[in-house]
Each structure stands twice: as structure tokens, then as C-alpha cells.
Chains A and B, each alone.
Chain A
């Protein structure tokens, strides 16, 4: 039994791959026409999108837009850490679209053959230093993270922002002296907002979202660890048409503008 199931899987994956491959190249070229076609309002049913927590605001807006254009469509989101989402998908959670905050977790999903085509990078995010309003610790650059007198937060190495931070420190040759390794980027940011830490290493988008309580300090070393966001429709998607339309919307000019407003930037590659 087991052997047969394993033999079947690659075949399904291959089928799905060809389906997705065609449309994703389409989306890159004709994003405006995709947006136009979705406004025709012929999409129905429920669309389920699994997306990284950092995409919450942008994707919620894009989902609303898609529902306005397609009154019979209901868009449901599951926002969580990319690894949690990847785990849920490999455990068989039903979804149409997966947008990850890093390529590693996308690989977990593609490794299980769950994708309906090659994932595409739709946006990027870089690290920034977040400091409380007024910058009480007088932080100027990445080197301040080696200062033991400051109260500092980074993300735990197990979560994406922590992995990126670790790599950035390694590249820059800085021994970081954090006081806490936060379980996710929002937790790190909360501590900045409360003024309990002098600085935290978070993403530019998080600084953008935090509003006036938090100021962001870009730093050149961040360019070495650009975080790319891949997106993909899923092979078992109950609503493949809507899934396709959502991916196209994300890649459209409107989608990219929404992402840019939130602090994301256009893929460089």
C-alpha cells in the first residue's frame, strides 16, 4: 500500500507543475490584464489563503479587493508563522494558496509535492533596526548590538527573522549581546513599542506597521540577507481559478503598490 502511494505522488506533482508553470509566466507579463479579468466578477465559492503573518495587512486588503470585484467569492485567510503553515499544509490542511515569508518553508511544501507549479518570488523584505520613539539607547547601526549595556532583542534563531539576524551578524563579524531571543518578530517589536528594549532587529515592514511609536534605522549589512517571499497555488486547491486570480492580483501593479506601502520592496532578482 505504502509503495503504491509513494509511486503515485510524483505523477500528481508533475501534472500540477505543468498547470502552474504556464499561468505564473502569464502573470508576470500581463498583470494588468489579469486584474481586469478578475474584475469581471465570475469567481465563486471560497478561496483559502495560507500566508505568512507579516502579510496580514496587505493580503487582507487585497482579499477585500478581490471580494469586491467578485461578489460571489469568499476569501478566507490563515495567517501564521510560515513554518506553522508549512506544517499544517503537510499535515493535509486544505488550502488554495500558500505565501511563505521565506524560501525554506516553501521548500518544505514543494518537497512534499503539494504545489501546483513553481513558486514565484513576489516581494522582498529586509531587516531594519527598530528603536523606541526618541531612540533612548542612541543606537546608530548594527555595531550597537554588541553593546552589553543596551537592552536588546533579536528573534530566536529558530524563526526566520532570527535566522536572518544571525546571518547578518556573522557577515558583519559582530558578536551580538541580546537580552532576549524573541519567539517572533511581533513579540520583538512589542518590546520596542513598550520601551522595554533599546533596539530590536526586525523587518522593515514591521517598523512600517508599528506606526509612530517605533522608528526604523536601515543599515547596509542588511542587503546580505534579503528575505524573499515565494507564493504558489496548491495542487489540491478546491478553488484553482480563484487561487490563480489571487496570485495574479498579488503580482499586479495594484498588489505591488500595496506591498510597497507596507514596507516591502520589489524583488531585485
Chain B
């Protein structure tokens, strides 16, 4: 039942795809542009999420700081927030008139909205919680006594984290990164709100799909299939490479 529920919409896309015109549809310059931008920004957002999210997950799983439960609740905010609202929230902070954005604009002349940077920020905002929650779970499941053992062997916190904790939770991090990447790749609401939509700069595949739907539903189906094929292909590839190895080790 669950599989059918998940797969049937996919089958619908494949069945209704205008296979005869798929070639010319794909040849359009914007498609390649949007696809490249999507892959680039989702990958960058995943890297950013790793850099910021893994230490945060460690704090949530291991430290005994006050207000940890509050922190954990805050991490899940982007999950429950409608992405469009997330986009507006980003405006309010780092938009041209935002709390941090206004001084940035007035003193340095830097504006973030409507740039590729904004796409990456919006995707990171929405996708990072997936990584944090996944890594935190892996950290909790990992035996903290290995870290004790490392400490008795002269490893300081950072060495322990790098040489013991990280390798132990590597499969969890990989799974979290994949989840984060997939979510970033499909991100629509926060991106179109905060980064806008401009071909080549901020128009990712989901935005292209949405706009194509306004004009030509068949084109939208084609674009959806492209996005789907690329993301599934990447995930399968990564699964064999990383997760497969993670299981073997």
C-alpha cells in the first residue's frame, strides 16, 4: 500500500509524459541552465549544512548545555514552517531591509536576495534540519564510551570528534547528507520567495517546473521527469559508493 502510494504519482508522470516531443523540450537552453543551477546550489547547500549542521548535531547529542531541548525544537522550525514563510523570514533577516541585511546593504552595498547565494541560503535553511536530525540520531545511537576510550588515550575533544566520532557516525552523516541534498534539490517555496526567479541565476528546476505548469503542462511533466531521473540516479550512485561501503565496514 505504502509503496503504491509513493510510486503511483511517479507512474502517472511517466505515463503522461509526451515522449515524442521530449527531445526538443530538453534541448531548450533554460532546461540545462536550471538543472545545472539546481545541482550546483543543492550540492553547495548540502556542504554548508554539513559544515554547520554536524557540529550542531554534536551539541544536541553530546553536550549538556542548558536549553538544549529548546535548541532542538528550534532546529525543527524550518520543518514545520511553510517554506514560503521561511523565505519571508529570510527577507526579514538578510533582505535589503532586514535586521542584518540593511547594514550589509548600506555599508557594503551587498544585497543577498535575487542572487545564487540567496538560492543556496534558502535551500540550506529548509534542508539543514534533515541533516541535523539524522546526524543527531546517529550520534545518539553511537556508543559514547568510544569517546571515553579516545580521551584516555590522550585525544582531546577535537581529535576525538575527528578520528573517532565522525568515522563511527559516517553512515548516519552520509544518509543525512543525501536526505538534505534531495530536499534542497526539490526546494521551491523558500527559494522562489527569497531568491526570486531569474533564469541562470536563481531559476532552479522546481521553479522552472512550476512556471512551465502555468504555460504548458506537458513541458512541466518533462522537466519533472528530468529532475526525478537526475536525483534518483545520483542517489543510487551515492548509495552504492557510500552507504554500501558504510554497511560493509
Do the two chains bind?
Answer: yes
**Interchain CA distance A153-B114 in the complex, whole Å:** 10
A195 close to chain B: CB less than 8 A: yes
B116 close to chain A: CB less than 8 A: no
How many inter-chain residue pairs (CB < 8 Å) link A and B? Answer: 66
Q: Which residues of B contact A195 (CB under 8 A)?
A: 95-97
Q: Decide: A83 and B214 in contact? CB cutoff 8 A.
A: yes
Contact partner of A83 (CB less than 8 A), chosen from B114, B193, B215, is B215
A119 close to chain B: CB less than 8 A: no
User: Other CB < 8 Å A-B pairs besides A83-B215, A180-B202, A183-B214, 5 of them?
Assistant: A84-B213, A151-B111, A187-B193, A194-B97, A196-B95
**Interchain CA distance A159-B203 in the complex, whole Å:** 15
Q: Given the known A-B contacts A180-B198, A194-B91, are A159 and B113 also in contact in the complex, defined by CB atoms under 8 Å?
A: no
Q: How many residues of A contact B (CB 8 A)?
A: 21
Q: Decide: B97 and A183 in contact? CB cutoff 8 A.
A: no
Q: Which residues of B contact A180 (CB under 8 A)?
A: 114, 195-198, 202
Q: Which residues of A contact B113 (CB under 8 A)?
A: 151, 191, 196
A181 close to chain B: CB less than 8 A: yes
A121 close to chain B: CB less than 8 A: no
Q: Which residues of B contact A151 (CB under 8 A)?
A: 96, 111, 113-114
Binding site for B on A (CB under 8 A): 81, 83-84, 87, 151, 153, 156, 158-159, 178-183, 187, 190-191, 194-196
Q: Decide: B88 and A187 in contact? CB cutoff 8 A.
A: no
**Interchain CA distance A266-B95 in the complex, whole Å:** 39
Q: Given the known A-B contacts A151-B111, A194-B88, A196-B113, are A179 and B196 also in contact in the complex, defined by CB atoms under 8 Å?
A: yes
Binding site for A on B (CB under 8 A): 88, 91-92, 95-97, 111, 113-114, 192-193, 195-199, 202-203, 207, 210-215, 217
Q: Decide: A158 and B214 in contact? CB cutoff 8 A.
A: yes
Q: Given the known A-B contacts A156-B211, A159-B214, A179-B114, are A194 and B95 also in contact in the complex, defined by CB atoms under 8 Å?
A: yes
B75 to chain A, nearest CB (A): 26
**Interchain CA distance A187-B189 in the complex, whole Å:** 11
Q: Which residues of B contact A159 (CB under 8 A)?
A: 211, 214
Q: Which residues of B contact A181 (CB under 8 A)?
A: 196-199, 203, 211
A236 to chain B, nearest CB (A): 21
Q: Given the known A-B contacts A180-B196, A194-B95, are A158 and B215 also in contact in the complex, defined by CB atoms under 8 Å?
A: yes
**Interchain CA distance A84-B215 in the complex, whole Å:** 10
Q: Given the known A-B contacts A194-B91, A196-B113, are A179 and B198 also in contact in the complex, defined by CB atoms under 8 Å?
A: yes
A34 to chain B, nearest CB (A): 34
Q: Which residues of A contact B193 (CB under 8 A)?
A: 187, 190
Q: Which residues of B contact A182 (CB under 8 A)?
A: 192, 196-197
Q: Decide: A196 and B214 in contact? CB cutoff 8 A.
A: no
A200 to chain B, nearest CB (A): 11
**Interchain CA distance A209-B211 in the complex, whole Å:** 24
Q: Decide: B197 and A156 in contact? CB cutoff 8 A.
A: yes
**Interchain CA distance A187-B193 in the complex, whole Å:** 7
